[in-house]
Homo-oligomer: A and B are copies of this chain.
Amino acid sequence: MPSYKAPVDDVRFLLNDVFNFDKYNNLAGFSDAPADVRDAIIDEAAKFAEQVLQPLNRVGDLEGCRRGDDGSVTTPTGFREAFRQLAEGGWLGLVTPAAYGGQGLPQTLAQVVGEFLISANMAFSMYSGLTQGAVAALLVHGSEAQKKAFIPNMVAGKWAGTMNLTEPHCGTDLGLLRTKAVKQADGSYRISGTKIFISGGEQDLTENIIHLVLARIEGAAAGVRGISLFVVPKVQVKPDGSLGARNGVSCGAIEHKMGIHGNSTCVMNYDNAAGWLVGEENKGLNAMFVMMNEARLGVGVQGLAQSEVAYQNAASYARERLQGRALSGAAAPDKPADPIIVHPDVRRTLLQIRAFNEAARAMMVWLSLKSDVAHRSEDAREREAADDILGLCIPVLKGVLTDNGFANTVAAQQVWGGHGYIAENGMEQFVRDARIAMIYEGANGIQALDLVGRKLPRDKGRAVAAFFAEVGSFVTENAGVEVMAPFVAPLGKSLGHLQTATQWLMQNGATRPDNAGAGAADYMHLFGLVTFGYMWGLMVKAAQQKLRDGASAHLTTKLVTAKVFVERMLPETAAHLARIQAGAGTLMELPADEF
């Protein structure tokens, strides 16, 4: 059975030493989370993840969710009680303003807690994650009455929330959606249509479910300009806040999936369900886009979280499994064989995963802080600058963390040899669970197109120019620092590759858009490597400064892991650049029926 230990030391190092959390004390909520409060939150979250959620991870995979003939859905044994504890512990309302029953703490803290929960039990964490997403959407776009009616009960864990976008014939291309809304005399709407892939669409954890649903108002324009957002409670809510009649929405089926079995993925049938407009008519997609950064950040963290827990279990197996001898001669001559961690190839596998995990975690914190600044700063220019970087880097984080996070679960499984293929050992579940994160919340190919097609050119490239300036300054400032040089020189080179690629795309994408599409995935990964290189630079700098106060194993390991990144992973930027420059020509030569 796999185990999990939340990386609390690494989180503290990032918050305190690398990103200087306390310097954001001018932002709302930050002064409520000084070091001792943060420590307590982190430790409690770790305990909850390790002791309550992790033991339910395999149970959830084995049992899955079951739909009854009446359309009800039963979640795996223990999920109900765990969800109750999650709500009681206040974890659902960490960032929600106090006015709606939350604690108003920084988004950054919610993300580091989120990583722990997802590592422990990804399928379970989706029930709360989507509820928090629905709360965020209502906070930004809901009327005051809607916020009051729904959010406090969602934060308290009495009600949950879902997002209903996809239909059988449309996922990426929401302009095709058919679910319709008919306006009623009382100002409400009647919603009819079929939604698929609705995570937590039906469950037995909460007494009500607040569905946020994209639909087209009768007579609205075709395409994305005719889509509106509605709130559709499973059970109607009376004016006094008590529950009324069952609404016309039901779970028609649950999907049999590769993984995340513990989360119910539902086909939702809307049959004249009563719904209420959220925000303005025909602006539903905008409403969704506003909260997309946070949702994609959350999915990116799923990639990291599965990679982290897979790493831990691969490392512990490698320390214990006795098989063969070290190439340099027996390391444990008193034992029948050496532990396989003596082998450079096993160490390479583990250290590359670790070099990813720690950079990804740093990127998560870095961007979460940007998100906090973008939402909470009182300085409009500061907000704009933070939002620029956030918007630019979010598709990178989502695509790169989930692509590599998945690949890392596969690599970690490989360390277990044949035993990694056996369900009881849990390594293969990490692979199956992590796989979905590359797909949903915008498949990674779409993230790459968003980066290249929308985020790069936006505001005449203001965001990417700011990113180059930030990383470029770090390189320049540290190039002369002896202990930093081995890390920043390669970073400078890779930054050059990224700048060349950016120019190439701007020029060649303008003359032929397919050139941008052909290079998008490589560009996203090139961008990710440079960002990771920057994160490693920041971490090395913080570690070097701390080392002056005395050595520690954590800091030494940090520096070795940084070297692995620079030696083995960062140089890949050259190959990405070459592939981008290959352009679209060859790819577009064949007619469709020759594939």
Contact = CB atoms under 8 A, between A and B. Distances in A.
Interface of A: 166, 169-173, 176, 196-197, 255-259, 315, 318-319, 322-324, 327-328, 336-337, 339, 341-351, 354, 406, 410, 413-414, 417-418, 420-424, 428, 431-432, 435-436, 438-440, 443-445, 448-449, 453, 512-518, 520-521, 553, 556-557, 560, 563-564, 567-568, 571-572, 574-575, 578-579, 582, 584, 586-590, 592-595
Contacts of A586: 351, 560, 563-564, 567
B560 A444 contact: no
Given A421-B258, A422-B255, A173 B343 contact: no
Nearest to A591: B553
B587 A579 contact: no
Contact of A347 (B257, B418, B588): B588
Contacts of A197: 418
Chain A contact residues, majority secondary structure: helix
A345 B520 contact: yes
Given A172-B324, A345-B521, A421 B435 contact: yes
Contacts of A521: 345, 348
B439 A418 contact: yes
A347 B440 contact: no
Given A435-B431, A560-B586, A418 B568 contact: no
Given A323-B173, A423-B257, A582 B595 contact: no
Contact of A327 (B346, B514, B556): B514
Given A318-B595, A557-B590, A560-B589, A414 B432 contact: no
Contacts of A420: 439
Contacts of A439: 414, 417-418, 420-421
A328 B453 CA distance: 13
Contacts of A571: 575, 578-579
A445 B567 contact: no
Contacts of A520: 345
Instruction: Report how many copies the assembly holds.
Output: 2
15 contacts: A171-B418, A172-B323, A172-B324, A176-B337, A256-B424, A327-B453, A327-B514, A354-B595, A418-B440, A420-B439, A421-B435, A563-B586, A564-B586, A571-B575, A571-B579
A183 to B, nearest CB: 25
A444 B414 contact: yes
A339 B255 CA distance: 25
A513 to B, nearest CB: 4
Contacts of A169: 322
A13 to B, nearest CB: 15
The 5 closest A-B pairs by CB, nearest first: A327-B513, A344-B518, A258-B428, A344-B517, A315-B595
A448 B344 CA distance: 12
Contact of A587 (B319, B348, B572, B584): B348
A371 to B, nearest CB: 26
A324 B413 CA distance: 36
A354 to B, nearest CB: 8
A582 B568 contact: yes
A322 B339 CA distance: 52
A400 to B, nearest CB: 15
A261 to B, nearest CB: 10
A374 to B, nearest CB: 29
A413 B439 CA distance: 10
A124 B32 CA distance: 61
Contact of A517 (B345, B445, B564): B345
Nearest to A327: B513
A176 B340 CA distance: 14
Nearest to A584: B344
Contact of A592 (B323, B341, B593): B341
A513 B328 contact: yes
Contacts of A354: 595
A379 to B, nearest CB: 38
Given A345-B449, A410-B435, 8 more contacts: A171-B418, A256-B422, A341-B592, A345-B517, A351-B587, A406-B410, A557-B590, A567-B579
Nearest to A560: B589
A226 to B, nearest CB: 14
A173 to B, nearest CB: 4
Contacts of A258: 421-423, 428, 431-432
Contacts of A589: 560
Nearest to A573: B575
Given A319-B595, A348-B518, A432-B258, A417 B582 contact: no
Given A327-B517, A339-B592, A560-B590, A436 B414 contact: no
Q: Which of A258, A323, A342, A582 has the most CB of B within 10 A?
A: A258
Nearest to A336: B176
Nearest to A348: B587
A514 B574 CA distance: 27
Nearest to A512: B328
B172 A343 contact: no
A406 to B, nearest CB: 8
A101 to B, nearest CB: 33
Contacts of A436: 421
A169 B436 CA distance: 34
B432 A417 contact: no
